[in-house]
Structure 1
Amino acid sequence: MASSSSSTHQPKNFDVFLSFRGEDTRRGFISHLHKALCQRGIYTFIDNDLPRGEEISIELLKTIENSTTSIIVFSENYASSTWCLEELAKIVECRKNKQSVRPVFYMVDPSEVRKQEGKYGKALTMHEEKFNDKKKIQRWRDALRKAASISGWDSKNSRDDSELVQKIAEDISKTFLNKMRLSVAEYPVGINSRVKSVLKSLNIESKDDVRILGIYGLGGVGKSTIAKAIYNKISYHFEAKIFLENVREKSITKGIIHLQETLISEVLGDRSLKVHNECGGTDMINKILYKKRVLIILDDVDNSDQIKKLLGKCDGFASGSRIIMTTREKHLIDTIGREKHLIDTIGNGVSTYQVKELDEKESIKLLSKHAFRSNKPNEDYLKLVSEVIHYAKGLPLALVVMGADLYGKTIPEWESDLNKYTRSL
């Protein structure tokens, strides 16, 4: 997902459309909110460059239509702008098409907006005198009443703008989290218990330190699957987050520079930035992530050089950051934990978690899900299922592949395939 764009010739699809009165909030609250949303990978529209006039442009109306969520920042002078009121009316209209709408009451009481009292009442009266168009004014009044009745955020419930921005960014991130989830597994047997164990080690609630966790185990044991499930559960906590997949393979086939560019583009949402050499890429990553609370997952690393070139010295991340690596090599994590610069930076914050193979009960369930589309195997196949379980040795990948291969086959076909599996040992 990208950061923000201002006006463009062709309306694009945005995650969030910000509606606000520029003279009240643009240089302060809105600029901070916009930045916070963009840093979380939420593609946010802000109309920095659109020419103003009495009539709102068709381009802007299309942008509202093409946005997933609209955030309306009701400030002191919001209703004095006919442009803002037209935006609002369009936003409320789009709500009928399941678009999410969230109001922010910034230094105004929600009842003042809903009942059109105070400055909101005066602004509407002024518009009535100017336009002599009862239908238009009533449309604006209805939109104000409806929007102000929606659950949102009230600035008086926050200590300052910083806290309010943080609340909004976190809530919006959670909303989009379900739409940006990594694909974990069709049948996540045994995943939840292992994820819970990992989360204990990560201690996400603590913002006092930087922690590195190495998830290690045999190939096919489910390390990447667990890491993806963790990403889905916790990523909304962080300013910047990325799951960098297949590091070992891609460092060979595409090179470290490609991985560095991928990391940078995912964090910034800008694919135009190019890395010209590995050292420059590391420096760029460090500058981009400096003082940010980050979640970085490096999937399937196999040497410390990959980690150094993708993360640098890890000394610029804000407290509360979490770095997760999956690897087959436990000694790689042990080596990282002995790096002096890391000891100086994060102390004892490097830990490991070994992913154990599935037990017999879990193995039977996972195989049954794929081979029989059921939690339990067909009774006629019990002996054959036992042989498959013995062959797979608790490795989820083997159970998934064999289960999918054996699905719908007869007992003789199972026996034939099992002979092939055995001969391939």
Structure 2
Amino acid sequence: MVILTDERASSSSSTHQWNYDVFLSFRSKDTHDVEKVERWRKTLTEAANLSGFHYNDSYTESEFIERVIKEISRTKSNHEPLFVAKHPVGIDIRAEAIELLLNMESNDVCMVGIYGLGGVGKTTISKAVYNRIKNLFEGSCFLEDVREMSKINSDKILLQKTLLSKILHRTDLNVYNVSEGTNLIMQRLHGKKVLLILDDVGDLKEVENLLGKYNWFAPGSRVIITTRNKQVLTSLGIDHRRIHKVEELRQCEARELFIKHAFQASKYGEDYSELVEHIICYANGLPLALKIIGSDLCGKNIHEWKSALEKYKNIPHKDIQEILKISYDGLENFEKEIFLDIACFFKGYNKDDVVNILDSCKLYPDYGIGKLIDKCLITLRYDSGPGYDSLSMHDLVQQMGREIVQQESEELQQRSRIWRYEDAHKLLTGNMGSNKIRSIMLLSPERTEVSLKANVFKRMKNLKFLVGNVHFGEALDYLPDELRFLEWRESPLSLSSKCCLPRQLVVLKMSKSNIILENVVKQGFHMKI
């Protein structure tokens, strides 16, 4: 900032004379470097043409000084860097990747989208990018928590006022409603080369409330949108080549980040080595989990570490659960059902089979699974062996989904999905079924025989998915009519003459079964066997 006194600021001729005098004094020191002299000339001309603070009788001297101090403080505060992370492991290389997408050499307006799983580092990376390039713009603004701040009108208006004040360096702008704020942003910021980062955007409307038609930016402006939902970026019309998915940390990066949080140093006792590897495996590259668990275990002894690890495997850390569950809470009801079915039952299964099964449940899986992929809750993984796409998801996302089901009720029979062998065994041997149960997985770690009543599934009228590998003591005489998927592995499943396969069955996967397949065919079922 250049502050001119009243004598220098009030007269154009005196200003240029000052510029000339200073230029001559510099020139005398170095007359050989022509380029340097020209740079001096240009810089001094720009400085001389700056409008200064005019001190006149309308201010007292103390008021004038206070005005100057406020202006300096305001300008300085806008250039303060954002706090990125206590331990920014792997951030620089990821920030550089975003800078490449921004194509800073171009004078075109450029929008870049960053998406990924909650807690994967989108905000941290975008803050690092902001710090690296913000000084290249006339104005810059980083808006955090856009999704959360867009839930009520007063917060929407606060976001708009924050954007205006950051770019215009003014705090006296009044915004009375969202529509007025949107128009004011377009009018006041039009023509300015700006850097805008909208962090954690939930849907398209949130961007429109802030930027309107978002086609008014001056040349050279850059806009970055971070979100958990790729569809938001597609709907904004962002070029797919400028949409970047943030992946989990590599194992070496994950280890470094965890160690820095857990030990506050790079070295630790060998007796912790195995536990460190178990925790890194559990976190599966998610920075959020590595940071939270590392901080949670910092300063604890090895017995506490072992106990905590067992706890994490059975009960997720509440802070991790809370962040990941945000994505689930934003789903429509049919999407929630699909997500929980995959988390509790169909992870690793052939996507096409699951689509057929869930389609018979009227859950619109082609559409729903696509939305879950966009929201980074599930992924597709090609299995070269069988040659198909299988459904997958991050281990902590799966645990989040299963914890939601666990919280449905303390009573097993009142939960919708049962996947733990111990729980399924207790439920079936205790004959505790109910209409609430949607799926059961009875997979014993070793071959075993379980004594069940022949009509054990009689109370489970809404049971849709059943998988097992145990041998029942007697033949079953009832399977629910709603059953869509039946898989029995490595052990026979005996059905009595009273038991018919449900007519809505879509997929039957069996080996070493006592079911007579010829009878199944005669019944005219449209299923995959």
TM-score past 0.5 threshold: yes
TM category, shorter: 0.5 to 0.7
User: 1:213: which partner in 2?
Assistant: 112
| 1:292 shift after superposition | 0.7
Rounded Cα–Cα distance in structure 2 between residues aligned with 1:280 and 1:27: 40
User: 1:249: which partner in 2?
Assistant: 148
* 1:301-320 deviation line (CA, Å, top 9, x unaligned): 01000101101112221111
Higher relative contact order, chain-length normalized (CA < 8 Å, sep 6+): 1
Residue type at the aligned position of 1:369: K
1:292 matched to 2:192: yes
User: 2:21: which partner in 1?
Assistant: 108
Q: State the TM-score, normalized to the length of structure 2.
A: 0.49
Rounded Cα–Cα distance in structure 1 between residues aligned with 2:183 and 2:241: 23
Rounded Cα–Cα distance in structure 1 between residues aligned with 2:222 and 2:136: 10
Please give the residue correspondences for 1:15-414 in structure 2 after superposition, counting only pairs within 5 Å.
16=1, 18-20=3-5, 22=7, 25-26=9-10, 75=15, 106-112=19-25, 156-157=41-42, 161=46, 180-207=80-107, 209-252=108-151, 254-337=154-237, 348=239, 351-414=242-305
Rounded Cα–Cα distance in structure 1 between residues aligned with 2:38 and 2:82: 29
Residue type at the aligned position of 1:244: L
Rounded Cα–Cα distance in structure 2 between residues aligned with 1:19 and 1:164: 11
| 1:108 shift after superposition | 2.6
| 1:224 shift after superposition | 0.2
The residue matched to 2:172 in structure 1 has which SS?
coil
Structure 1 residues 245 and 370: alpha-carbon distance in aligned structure 2, compared to 1, 3 A threshold: same
Residue type at the aligned position of 2:160: Q
* 1:263-302 deviation line (CA, Å, top 9, x unaligned): 1122222222221111110000001110111100001001
Aligned length: 286
Structure 1 residues 400 and 163: alpha-carbon distance in aligned structure 2, compared to 1, 3 A threshold: farther
Does structure 1 conserve the Cα–Cα contact (< 8 Å) formed by 2:23 and 2:40?
A: no
Structure 1 residues 235 and 25: alpha-carbon distance in aligned structure 2, compared to 1, 3 A threshold: same
Does structure 2 conserve the Cα–Cα contact (< 8 Å) formed by 1:260 and 1:310?
A: yes
Rounded Cα–Cα distance in structure 2 between residues aligned with 1:152 and 1:407: 58
| 1:418 shift after superposition | 1.2
Structure 1 residues 177 and 395: alpha-carbon distance in aligned structure 2, compared to 1, 3 A threshold: farther
Rounded Cα–Cα distance in structure 2 between residues aligned with 1:407 and 1:194: 27
CA RMSD of aligned residues (A): 3.3
The residue matched to 1:107 in structure 2 has which SS?
helix
* 1:94-134 deviation line (CA, Å, top 9, x unaligned): xxxxxxxxxxxx2334455999xxxxxxxxxxxxxxxxxxx
* 1:227-258 deviation line (CA, Å, top 9, x unaligned): 00001000000001100011111112653112
User: 1:418: which partner in 2?
Assistant: 309
Rounded Cα–Cα distance in structure 2 between residues aligned with 1:18 and 1:355: 44
Q: State the TM-score, normalized to the length of structure 1.
A: 0.61
Residue type at the aligned position of 2:158: H
* 1:320-376 deviation line (CA, Å, top 9, x unaligned): 1000011000111011117xxxxxxxxx59721111100110000000001011235
Unmatched tracts of structure 1, length 5 or more: 1-15, 30-73, 79-105, 116-150, 166-171, 339-347
Rounded Cα–Cα distance in structure 2 between residues aligned with 1:317 and 1:160: 28
Structure 1 residues 159 and 266: alpha-carbon distance in aligned structure 2, compared to 1, 3 A threshold: closer
The residue matched to 2:210 in structure 1 has which SS?
helix
Rounded Cα–Cα distance in structure 2 between residues aligned with 1:158 and 1:112: 14
| 1:164 shift after superposition | 8.0
Structure 1 residues 387 and 316: alpha-carbon distance in aligned structure 2, compared to 1, 3 A threshold: same
User: 1:48: which partner in 2?
Assistant: none
Residue type at the aligned position of 1:250: M
Does structure 2 conserve the Cα–Cα contact (< 8 Å) formed by 1:158 and 1:164?
A: no
Rounded Cα–Cα distance in structure 1 between residues aligned with 2:11 and 2:159: 36
Rounded Cα–Cα distance in structure 2 between residues aligned with 1:404 and 1:152: 55
Does structure 2 conserve the Cα–Cα contact (< 8 Å) formed by 1:216 and 1:328?
A: yes
* 1:39-58 deviation line (CA, Å, top 9, x unaligned): xxxxxxxxxxxxxxxxxxxx
Does structure 2 conserve the Cα–Cα contact (< 8 Å) formed by 1:337 and 1:350?
A: no
Structure 1 residues 219 and 261: alpha-carbon distance in aligned structure 2, compared to 1, 3 A threshold: same
Rounded Cα–Cα distance in structure 2 between residues aligned with 1:113 and 1:28: 21
| 1:406 shift after superposition | 0.5
Unmatched tracts of structure 2, length 5 or more: 29-35, 51-71, 316-398, 400-529
Rounded Cα–Cα distance in structure 2 between residues aligned with 1:403 and 1:310: 37
Higher helix share: 1
Identity %: 41
Rounded Cα–Cα distance in structure 1 between residues aligned with 2:167 and 2:22: 36
Rounded Cα–Cα distance in structure 2 between residues aligned with 1:157 and 1:185: 39
The residue matched to 1:299 in structure 2 has which SS?
strand
Which has more radius of gyration?
2
User: 2:385: which partner in 1?
Assistant: none
Residue type at the aligned position of 2:41: K
* 1:380-414 deviation line (CA, Å, top 9, x unaligned): 11111111112212111111111111011111101
Rounded Cα–Cα distance in structure 2 between residues aligned with 1:302 and 1:152: 52
